[in-house]
Chains A and B, each alone.
Chain A
């Protein structure tokens, strides 16, 4: 199986990655190789096997809903590329 350029562009778009022409071609080849290798998984009969989503013994993890201190707002906003008062600033979303 070989990925097409269109497929790679579609994946990049889903992943929100802006890629140049050379990158697209490089990943087209490399992803094709890796997926070819991963195709050996199809040989395994898993019709009666459940998927593993976690290795932990299943248990319900709950905690009491208590009011507690959270991170200081100014500390968190200190990392913002652009802030406006107590908000993150981004380009307009609506016309």
Chain B
């Protein structure tokens, strides 16, 4: 049995049964990660030998269990990759930025801590656009990640390292974060599953803040069931995050069994998401995928989300405004890079000028402008009001449908360097993922085919606020009758 061929759920089952050892599983992934990282650069940091020792301890726990002892946590011995914007004690957390190059957080993010408490082992920290700002990972200060399907293309971003690690079999599962599409878009470009939960479903404690009203921690996985497995453990109220929802986390995997039957499910197809500018292959494959959902009994109908065209300008005012405030903390005093200066002001400005990369500076400038005296009402205030309209579009739509289906991105993975000098063209990448982010609703990207060049295409499904259960059920049903998620690029 090749451990790299198993899904997360299959590995967990095999560890419990004793037909697979954690040492073999972790070693296989670690070797694979070490071997491919020079080419793919999915990881900024790969775990050392100590993770193998931890895996042997996990094997001990499982064998004690089989001798009649207590059951260890459900993830005992499972390796997990973590996007390098989530703090893990003992690991550097760089956010892909020079300004945090040597930062070692003194605590662990709640999302990660819950996985560790369930027995998971950290396999490494994955590459990201600097402070999660970007759609290609080209904004990482430590070099881009390459798309495993075509190394000359970007993996998407900002969770490009996590997405590439799943596609290239360098990790069985990975944590990502999504502020405007940063899980769903790289999942689509890399042909893996990417789940962005509802805002507030997973604690943000220990996630280094970008846009606090939008940031979500989620999962990149090989299958919907794997994503559901991790979500069950990771989601839920956290006293350390006042924006985490108190609702109990459903046992998501319970609904993922039996026959894939979507009778009674109403699926809306927003006409605004299929406008001109969609690559023909993407349009065709996504419509075919929606046809598959129909063949399972779902009722499909066209709907309208009339304020879709405003999502991009709203997002690129709101998120930079929040970012400019959140990133004010990097001042060279308490942690991170410092550039010495004669005065405190020189120290601040010099540190920030040297420590931040071009995209982060651009967004800090944009956000500062949108919040500055004389422009606040016209930009930030107006953007927040139009956000209300975008949110209302979704609320109206979910009165008549259960799920909204669309492409994740207008096209497939683009070539590295193609958009680095054109920020607006790069921002357009997020056109179809931004609305759900602004509305705070959950969304998932599912592999649904490959274009004429062999590049993966993603189907985006969105559900109502806290509606992950139905979203996962529909997604699981799709994967029961398709094989796209089983395809992997040749190394």
Using a CB–CB cutoff of 8 Å, the interface residues on chain A facing chain B are 8, 11-12, 14-19, 23, 27, 30-31, 33-35, 37-42, 44, 46, 49-56, 61, 63, 71-72, 75-76, 78-82, 88, 90-93
Contacts and interface: CB of A to CB of B under 8 A. Distances in A.
Given A15-B368, A18-B350, A71-B106, A52 B333 contact: no
B336 A79 contact: yes
A35 to B, nearest CB: 7
Given A46-B388, A55-B213, 10 more contacts: A15-B368, A17-B365, A18-B349, A46-B386, A49-B386, A52-B438, A55-B200, A56-B200, A82-B338, A91-B342
Contacts of A34: 316, 366, 423-424, 427
B362 interface: yes
A46 B243 CA distance: 27
A26 B229 CA distance: 46
B369 to A, nearest CB: 5
Contacts of B314: 41
Given A19-B353, A30-B423, A55-B439, A49 B388 contact: yes
B243 A76 contact: no
B279 interface: no
Nearest to B437: A55
Contact of A53 (B312, B328, B384): B384
Nearest to A74: B106
B213 A54 contact: yes
B347 A50 contact: no
Given A40-B310, A82-B338, A51 B333 contact: no
Contacts of A71: 106-107
Contact-residue bracket for chain B: 35 or more
Contacts of B427: 34
A55 B465 CA distance: 9
B364 to A, nearest CB: 5
Interface string B120-150: 0000000000000000000000000000000
B30 interface: no
Given A17-B356, A37-B424, A49-B385, A56 B333 contact: no
Contact of B106 (A37, A39, A79): A79
Contacts of B341: 91
B388 A38 contact: no
Interface string B313-334: 1101100000010001001111
Interface of B: 102-104, 106-107, 199-200, 213, 239, 242-243, 245, 307, 309-310, 312-314, 316-317, 324, 328, 331-338, 340-350, 352-354, 356, 358, 361-362, 364-366, 368-369, 372, 378-379, 381-389, 391, 423-424, 427, 438-440, 465
Question: Mostly helix, strand, loop or mixed at chain A's interface?
Answer: loop
Nearest to A59: B246
Q: Sort A-B residue pairs by CB-CB distance and give the 10 closest, nearest first.
A: A55-B440, A18-B353, A51-B384, A81-B338, A79-B335, A75-B106, A46-B385, A61-B242, A18-B349, A38-B313
Contacts of B200: 55-56
A37 B313 contact: yes
B331 A44 contact: no
Contacts of B349: 16-18
6 contacts: A46-B386, A51-B387, A56-B200, A79-B104, A81-B335, A91-B341
B361 A27 contact: yes
B268 to A, nearest CB: 20
A56 B352 contact: no
Given A16-B331, A31-B369, A93-B344, A63 B387 contact: no
A51 to B, nearest CB: 3
Nearest to A43: B310
B365 A12 contact: yes
Nearest to A64: B239
Contacts of A51: 381, 384-385, 387-388
A49 B333 contact: no
Given A52-B387, A76-B106, A31 B344 contact: no
Contacts of A12: 365
Given A11-B365, A63-B239, A79 B103 contact: yes
A72 B106 contact: yes
Contact of B440 (A23, A56, A80, A92): A56
A34 B307 CA distance: 19
A13 to B, nearest CB: 8
B424 A27 contact: no
Contacts of B107: 71
B369 A16 contact: no
Nearest to A60: B242
A17 B364 contact: yes
Contacts of B389: 44, 46, 49
A65 to B, nearest CB: 12
Contact of A38 (B317, B336, B372): B317
